[in-house]
Structure 1
Amino acid sequence: MTRVVSLFLPTWSTDRARRKAGDAAPPPEVPLVLIERDGNRRVVLGADAAAQAAGLCIGMPATKAQVLVPGLIVEDADPAADAEGLDRLAVWILERIAPVVAPDPPDGIVIDSTGADHLHGGENAMLDGVIGRLAMSGIVARAAIADTWGAAHALARYRTRSTIVAAPGHEPSIIAPLPLEALRLPSSVSAGLRTLGFERIGDLLAQPRAPLALRFGPELGRRIDQALGDLAEPIKAIRPPDLIEVRQAFAEPIGAAETIARYIAKLVGQLCERLEECGFGARRLDLICHRVDNRAEAVRVGLATPVRDVKRLTRLLCEKIDTIEPGFGIEVLTLAATIAEPLERKETHNSLVEASFPDVSDLVDTLANRVGERAVYRLAPVASDVPERSVCRIPAMAAETGASWPGHWPRPSRLLPQPEPVETMALLPDQPPVSFTWRGIRRRVKRADGPERVFGEWWKRDAELVAVRDYFRVEDDAGERYWLYRAGDGEHAATGSHRWFLHGVFG
């Protein structure tokens, strides 16, 4: 089933202007509007959140806006730069999220995410990741995912939540309460419908189409059918100018898995030749199948390291054939190296004494494309005395950082995601517990070592200026070893709650 994401950027023009200004940009709490000339008038083309909260809106005369908001910052709009920036953002999303992405001017981007969400931990995680990355860059965004472009577009712009995930196969009722403007109708059509008493999309769904088409033309019915999924709305994907891409068109549509696999192998061979000419290897491949019904099926394959091995890339793509729905047939296949990086030609040596190292990148690629990139990772040390902050996840094939964990104090092989509270009996201030109860089971301590005192990181937040933890390694009657700590130094209440927690288990 097709799934489409609509990304709405409500203050795109002002966000782009602030990013361009850098340190010289006005503070976020100061209202900012962008204006352009409309004949002899100056009108507001863009308004940031502070300006909108003050009652300003797009299309308002600039003189009126300045009267309503004293101290308003007014700058010239640049629609061409806004459109160019939207294209660059679409390319950024193309490289990181899904194979089919297109700008949806003036303030949005549309993404065909069919089959790509599992690579990001699911649809909710995918949307949260996109919104979070944009927020870190100073761009306000909302996103919705639905079965059609029209439904996703309407939900993203006329619901107040930052992310909305409509269930696959959703009913038309999901957009029924939304206003008429959510159908992307011309303003004259919306005004005419309101004159007749229509306020919501649901008011139109039960009406006969012929009288509406006779009065308002075919556009109204087309938009309704697109939102409901009764009429296809193809997404014309953006293609960067330097994209390495090959294409195969068919005189007769194809649909059999064996035929698709055969042509995938041919396209991979052609693509690898192009990559070799440029001295690159593929880090991400996108196979787009253009169907005869104007829909596109896309397959994305990620690679941990740059690769241009024909057999390896063909195998990874062919493993995804069962996710392709050819429909009435595929008329064009497009294969692109969405991300390509320099790759030097490897020289072969026949020396018997040359050290050889196993290459596990093929295994990593296979696993990552089956369960998602986030599920395949390595752990790396971080310079921190606080145990839960001393480790981070890095890509499975990332280069060695050279950092290592300190070895002067033993650490458990299994660190719990969050310390779990336990009930204990212990003498203060520095004695280990005599027994403790964890997850409903009481364990008597046979041996113990400690305490190891860990102080808070005062440079992170004020609450850690006096925070203290005393860690103990304990062994119970069954020989199981645990890592417990007391929050506080056992004497002063300001250093912690003096409650006990279990933080890890030794192997």
Structure 2
Amino acid sequence: MTRVVSLFLPNWSTDRLRRKAGDAAPPAEAPLVLIGREGNRRVVLAADAAAQAAGLRAGMPVSKAQVLVPDLLIQDADPAADADGLERLAIWLLRLAPIVAPDSPDGIIIDSTGADHLHGGENAMLAGLLGRLTMSGVVARAAIADTWGAAHALARYAARPTIIVSPGHSRDAVAPLPLTALRLTPATVASLHTLGFERIGDLLAQPRAPLTLRFGPEIGRRLDQALGLSAEPIEPIRSPELVEVRRAFAEPIGAAETIARYIGKLVARLCEILEERDEGVRRLDLICHRVDNRAQAVRVGTATPVRDVKRLTRLLCDKIETIEPGFGIEVLTLTATVAEPLTRKQTVTSLVEESVPDVSDLIDTLMNRVGERAIYRLAPVASDVPERSVCRIPAMAADNNASWPTHWPRPSRLLPQPEVVETVALLPDHPPVSFTWRGIRRRVRRADGPERVFGEWWKRDAELIAVRDYFRVEDDAGERYWLYRAGDGENAATGSHRWFLHGVFG
């Protein structure tokens, strides 16, 4: 089932202008409009959130806008720069999925079929996307549906700020939306309103023939596109710097063996170009253009730059089962969407030294099956606070030679969050005599400590005088635990003096 993301940028023109101005941009609370000419009239072409809250709208005469908001900020609109910025944003979003295209003038369309699991699911993918845009100062809403038409309509008229429609439910989702969500001309919408049609559902309940006879085929085409009955191909945007190879077929292909054979040929041609540029692939996109005007994409990634034909061919062929050729594929396009310089390694042989095994091939296979985020390794961080002393890094990231301190033992298992325990203990420096964790009382036979950990005052003001006292304890069953008391046991300002279990020794 195809899944499409529509990204709606309601204030793209003004957001882009503020981002371009940087520190010189006017404050967000200052109403800003962009103006242009319609014939001999000067009209508002775009208004930011503050201007819209003051009652200003696109199409309003500039003179009226100045009367409504005396301190209004006015700048000339630049549609060409807006379109160019939208294309650059679409190219940046290629990191999400192989098929991305601008949806002018205020949106971007993404075919996310088969890509959401690489980003933690559709909810996580949209949350991460909108979060990055918000941090960049761009207001956005997004919707996911089965078709471009449905996602486009929902993003603009239903998303607050996101909406995800379950597969196969696009018809029910778009039925309550206004007619303008169908991307019909204003004249057609006005005529339909005259006849009493207000919602898309009103049109869905009507026979097509009278509508086509009166308004032409446009209404039926838009309805079919929204419901997935008619194809609406997305022409993916490509940066001119990307390395891309294509193969068109006189007769459409569909057998898995045939697709695999031509994948190998395309990879070989791509690697020849990359060798001339001394680069290797980090992300590879295969787009299959079908005869029914639909496109399917396969994406694979690598942990390190790769230019090995057999290895890249295998990674792509592992994904062939996800391709639905339909009535046949007429064009295959292979693009290195991310390429990096490939450093040559000199092979050193010795009678006494053993070569380090290369596990990057295994890492590539795993990350393309379960997602890049699921394959990682842990690295030390310069922090005395235990939960801050470790971070996730890519599986094949370079070793920075950092290590954890060894003067105090650390548990093999650290709990995600310290858990409160009930204890019997003498203050201020004695370990607990017993403690109750998860409903089970444990008597302490041996203990060592305390190890005092101070708060990192340069990160949070609340940690200015905060401390923790850690103890390693062993119970009657020989199990060893890592407990701490919040505070120094004397001054209440240093902590609550409650006890927590933070880790378990293996």
Q: State the TM-score, normalizing by the size of structure 2.
A: 0.96
- Alignment match, 1:49: 49
Deviations 1:162-197 (A, max 9, x none): 222111222511111111111111111112111222
SS at match of 2:391: strand
- Alignment match, 1:155: 154
- After superposition, residues 358-437 of structure 1 pair within 5 angstroms as 358-437=357-436
Which amino acid in structure 1 is aligned with residue 36 of structure 2?
E
- Are 1:482 and 2:495 matched, yes or no? no
- Alignment match, 1:5: 5
- Are 1:127 and 2:97 matched, yes or no? no
Deviations 1:16-74 (A, max 9, x none): 11111111111222222211122222222222222222222222222222222232221
- Alignment match, 1:67: 67
Which amino acid in structure 2 is aligned with residue 387 of structure 1?
P
Which amino acid in structure 2 is aligned with residue 115 of structure 1?
G
How far is the alpha carbon of 1:297 from its aligned partner?
Answer: 1.1
> d(CA) in 2 for partners of 1:160 and 1:322?
33
- After superposition, residues 170-249 of structure 1 pair within 5 angstroms as 170-249=169-248
> d(CA) in 2 for partners of 1:383 and 1:64?
59
> CA 1:453 to 1:354, structure 2 compared with 1: closer, same or farther past 3 Å?
closer
Identity %: 82
- After superposition, residues 454-473 of structure 1 pair within 5 angstroms as 454-473=453-472
- Alignment match, 1:279: 278
Aligned length: 506
Which amino acid in structure 2 is aligned with residue 206 of structure 1?
A
How far is the alpha carbon of 1:456 from its aligned partner?
Answer: 2.4
How far is the alpha carbon of 1:385 from its aligned partner?
Answer: 2.3
> d(CA) in 2 for partners of 1:209 and 1:384?
68
- Alignment match, 2:333: 334
Deviations 1:289-311 (A, max 9, x none): 11111111110000111101001
SS at match of 1:288: strand
Deviations 1:304-348 (A, max 9, x none): 111010010011111111111111111111111110111134445
Q: State the TM-score, normalizing by the size of structure 1.
A: 0.96
SS at match of 2:326: coil
> CA 1:425 to 1:269, structure 2 compared with 1: closer, same or farther past 3 Å?
same
Contact 2:97 2:111 in 1 (8 A): yes
Which amino acid in structure 2 is aligned with residue 77 of structure 1?
A
> d(CA) in 1 for partners of 2:186 and 2:72?
29
SS at match of 2:246: strand
Once the two structures are overlaid, the 10-residue window that deviates more, 489-498 or 115-124, is: 489-498
- Alignment match, 1:298: 297
- Alignment match, 2:503: 504
Unaligned runs of 5+ in 2: none
- Alignment match, 1:111: 110
- Are 1:453 and 2:452 matched, yes or no? yes
> d(CA) in 2 for partners of 1:213 and 1:172?
20
- Are 1:81 and 2:78 matched, yes or no? no
Once the two structures are overlaid, the 10-residue window that deviates more, 311-320 or 33-42, is: 33-42
How far is the alpha carbon of 1:422 from its aligned partner?
Answer: 1.9
> CA 1:56 to 1:270, structure 2 compared with 1: closer, same or farther past 3 Å?
same
Deviations 1:446-498 (A, max 9, x none): 11122222232223333323332222211112222111122222233333332
How far is the alpha carbon of 1:350 from its aligned partner?
Answer: 5.2
Once the two structures are overlaid, the 10-residue window that deviates more, 401-410 or 335-344, is: 401-410
> d(CA) in 1 for partners of 2:380 and 2:343?
30
Unaligned runs of 5+ in 1: none
SS at match of 1:501: strand
> CA 1:240 to 1:493, structure 2 compared with 1: closer, same or farther past 3 Å?
same
How far is the alpha carbon of 1:401 from its aligned partner?
Answer: 2.8
> d(CA) in 1 for partners of 2:321 and 2:41?
58
Contact 2:482 2:501 in 1 (8 A): yes
- Alignment match, 1:34: 34
> d(CA) in 2 for partners of 1:384 and 1:376?
24
Deviations 1:109-128 (A, max 9, x none): 00001111111111111111
